[in-house]
Structure 1
Amino acid sequence: MQITRRAALGTAIAVPTLATPALAQGWQPTRPLRLVVTYPPGGVNDIVGRIIAEPMSRELGHPVVVENRAGAGGNIGTVAVAQAEADGYTILFGTTAMFGVNPILYANSGVDAVRDFTSLGTIGEVANILSVVPDRVRATNIQEFVAEAKSRPLVYGSVGNGSSSHLSATVFLRMAGIEATHVPYRGSSPLVAALLAKEVDFGFDTTATSTAQIRAGAIRPLAVTTTRRASALPDVPTMIEAGLPGFDLGVWFNLAVAKRTPAPIVARLTEALEKSRDALTAQRLGTAFVEPLIVPREQNQSFVAQSAARWQEIARQANLRID
């Protein structure tokens, strides 16, 4: 994925659902807004949601209050936002999973994020890291790891069936021509605990939740799933650098509202998000081991749709099932 960091302020709007700047000035909130994070408090989604809510509050002149609506891999909260009144006061904190995997896992939920939401813009991106347990795996790079995996059975953990962690592993195993037994856990914390307890040989987890343990030497990183190295772990190569051409599975975050939201409201919220993605926000994201990701306004909808389509195809190939 080609990452664009330049600010989108002043860029002409090329998305039909958005209004002109003049119309954008016609709507201003008069009360607090809700930002629905569809995962529990304390995880990377919650952290990034709260980071962006603060400057959004300043830009809009009213509090943007984070509301955690967890369950069903984020689908419960997604459905709730889709069904809420489309008046701009309920915003979805979106993730790759909601747009790219959940429509496959929850085909009968009545909601499809690409179809039913308008993306206001991206916020940041994290890589998943292939990390191994030093006492269980000898390999120190991808080539050694593939050779070791071909010589004996290995077990890997993920943060759950259908997660980006799980799908990153399935793509890696297929491209590397190896097999391993999958043990799904219910979130990053249980997976990291399993790695530390030496219950599995390796796992894929995000930079946001693995970096501290990697820096402490408790787990050994072999490669990241994005096309650029993680700034928090600059010595860890990408999968492409490690010999797997085309491997690009970053996990991004965005804000979105229901598709039926009036265009002037969408434009005003988009403008507020753009102004919120400043240097201080980038610094705070970096502290959480999240890379800032700014897709220009005119490319935003196509970026989301193309990324979602790619993840959906991976999910189909993996023959996913709900836990």
Structure 2
Amino acid sequence: MTLIARRAALAGLGTLLAAPALRAQGWQPTRPIRIIVTYPPGGVNDIVARIIAEPLSRELHQPVVIENRAGAGGNIGTQAAAQADADGYTILFGTTALFGVNPIVYASSGVDAVRDFTSLGLIGEVANVLSVIPGRVQATNLQGFIEEAKRRPLIFGSVGNGSSSHLSCAVFMKMAGIEATHVPYRGSSPLVAALLAKEVDFGFDTTATSTAHIRSGAFRALAVTTTTRASALPDVPTMQEGGLAGYDLGIWFNLAVPKRTPAPVVARLREALAATRTQQTADRLRTAFVEPMNVPAAESDAWIAASAARWQTIAREARITAD
């Protein structure tokens, strides 16, 4: 996936806010729909899923409930969604990690999100932030931190083994030529708690869950993982600005259903998701530090497959494993 293609997906809201197409015929839900979120409550996945669930429920005239199925870097929830009846009543909240990393990390699981799911549409993108803990780390910029990491052993936390948080750090360490001990947690909330308790020296987590602690001074932000600075943290440089040329790892979110879901059901759910793309929803996403994405639903499977291929290459090169 090229940088131009990904940025084009984020450009403007003209099409994003356009009136939805005529209502798809042939399927209307008659009972509650669940969205499986593969991480615990409180993290960015859970936050974004709940933002989307509210207008989706209004559009479908049925309750849309969030079911948190955490574990194995999101693989447990992905398996549950893949094995659910393909009737439109179970939706997977997809992430970069589930589609781009887990097929490598959990190769024997029997689940490959690109192969096994049909995308209903992309929702948005967020940056991860490299945050260090004042008192445990002295460095105030990326190059200083790299030098410090080369002088003494450090411990980093992630939101789970094989997660985009883990991979962001693995790529960083490889490019910087440093090593650190990895402590995986079960989602963003446990990682943030560990950072606040000063159990680890540093970690990568999204702007959605890191910004408040950075602004308070509890975390010291050294860099963001995208090629442009995060609007919520305009003073924090990118990894590339910090000296790591070519570093670009934005985190995206989508909704998906099992591949065998009937076409009329997919069409109706895609239409409903498109109808949630209002200015109000965009504003709520931005409040959660997520930039809305504008990729037509019919093109989202190809977009995701290209992005996943890139992430899988990175995962292989970083030698990410489930152990």
Q: TM-score, normalised by structure 1?
A: 0.89
User: 1:1-150 alignment to 2 at 5 Å?
Assistant: 1=3, 2-3=6-7, 4-5=9-10, 6=13, 7-8=15-16, 24-150=24-150
For the residues of structure 2 that align with 1:258 and 1:188, how far apart are their CA atoms? Answer: 26
How far residue 208 of structure 1 moved from its aligned partner, in angstroms, is 1.5
Q: Which amino acid aligns with 1:70?
A: A
State the match for 2:296 in structure 1. Answer: 296
CA distances 1:179-220 after superposition (whole Å, capped 9, x unpaired) = 323233333233223323333322111112111110100111
Is the contact between residue 231 and residue 291 of structure 1 (CA under 8 Å) also seen in structure 2?
A: no
Is the contact between residue 119 and residue 301 of structure 1 (CA under 8 Å) also seen in structure 2?
A: yes
For the residues of structure 2 that align with 1:262 and 1:22, how far apart are their CA atoms? Answer: 19
Is the contact between residue 11 and residue 298 of structure 1 (CA under 8 Å) also seen in structure 2?
A: no
For the residues of structure 1 that align with 2:48 and 2:91, how far apart are their CA atoms? Answer: 14
Is the contact between residue 225 and residue 249 of structure 2 (CA under 8 Å) also seen in structure 1?
A: yes
CA distances 1:34-77 after superposition (whole Å, capped 9, x unpaired) = 22222222222122111101111111222222222222222222
For the residues of structure 2 that align with 1:172 and 1:51, how far apart are their CA atoms? Answer: 31
For the residues of structure 2 that align with 1:126 and 1:90, how far apart are their CA atoms? Answer: 25
How far residue 112 of structure 1 moved from its aligned partner, in angstroms, is 0.9
Distance 1:42 1:321, change over 3 A: same
User: 1:138-287 alignment to 2 at 5 Å?
Assistant: 138-287=138-287
For the residues of structure 2 that align with 1:184 and 1:67, how far apart are their CA atoms? Answer: 22
Distance 1:40 1:194, change over 3 A: closer
For the residues of structure 1 that align with 2:42 and 2:193, how far apart are their CA atoms? Answer: 16
For the residues of structure 2 that align with 1:153 and 1:42, how far apart are their CA atoms? Answer: 30
Moved more, 194-203 or 274-283: 194-203
How far residue 293 of structure 1 moved from its aligned partner, in angstroms, is 2.2
CA distances 1:211-252 after superposition (whole Å, capped 9, x unpaired) = 111010011101100122222212111112222222111111
State the match for 1:16 in structure 2. Answer: none
Moved more, 116-125 or 35-44: 35-44
Paired residues, number: 315
Partner secondary structure for residue 30 of structure 2: coil
Unaligned segments of structure 2, at least 5 residues? none
Distance 1:91 1:9, change over 3 A: same
How far residue 129 of structure 1 moved from its aligned partner, in angstroms, is 0.6
For the residues of structure 2 that align with 1:30 and 1:117, how far apart are their CA atoms? Answer: 23
Distance 1:78 1:184, change over 3 A: closer
Q: Which amino acid aligns with 1:94?
A: G
Distance 1:187 1:86, change over 3 A: closer
RMSD across aligned C-alpha pairs, in angstroms? 2.2
For the residues of structure 2 that align with 1:51 and 1:157, how far apart are their CA atoms? Answer: 27
How far residue 306 of structure 1 moved from its aligned partner, in angstroms, is 1.4
State the match for 1:15 in structure 2. Answer: none
Of all paired residues, the percent bearing the same amino acid is 74
